[in-house]
Amino acid sequence: MSRYAAIEAGGTKFRVAISQEREVVADTTIATTTPDETLGATVDFVLSHGPVVAAGIACFGPLDLLPGSANYGAITATPKPHWAGTPVLDRVRSALGVPAAIDVDVGGAALGEWQWGAARGLSHFVYLTIGTGIGGGVFIDGKVHHGMGHPEMGHITLERVAGDDYAGHCPFHGACFEGMAAGPAIEDRWGASGTELAARDEVWDLEATYVAQALRSYSYVVAPQRVIIGGGVMQVPGLIERVRDKLGEQLAGYATSHIRQGSLDDYVVYPQLGQDAGLYGAIALAMRAHEEAG
Ligand code: ZN
pTM for the whole structure: 0.91
User: Looking at the predicted structure, is the pLDDT value of residue 260 above 70?
Assistant: no
Write the CB contacts of 212 (distance below 8 Å, at least 6 apart in sequence): 243, 246, 247, 249, 250
- How far is 147 from 105, CA to CA, in rounded Å? 16
- Separation in Å, CA 198 to CA 194, 244, 248: 6, 18, 23
Ligand 1 center–CA 107 separation, angstroms: 19
Q: What does the mean pLDDT of the chain come to? A: 93
Does an H or E element contain 103, and which? Answer: strand 100-104
- How far is 19 from 4, CA to CA, in rounded Å? 5
Ligand 1 center–CA 176 separation, angstroms: 5
Q: What is the pLDDT of residues 162-209, one digit of tens each?
A: 999 999 999 999 999 999 999 999 999 999 988 899 999 999 999 999
With 0-12 CB in 10 A as exposed, 13-18 as middle and 19+ as buried, what is 270? Answer: middle
Sorted by where each starts, the structural domains of the chain and their CATH numbers stand as: 3-105+275-292 (3.30.420.40), 118-270 (3.30.420.40)
- How far is 276 from 162, CA to CA, in rounded Å? 38
Ligand 1 center–CA 146 separation, angstroms: 19
Ligand 1 center–CA 77 separation, angstroms: 14
Ligand 1 center–CA 153 separation, angstroms: 9
- How far is 26 from 16, CA to CA, in rounded Å? 8
Q: Provide the pLDDT confidence category of residue 261 given band limits of 50, 70 and 90.
A: low
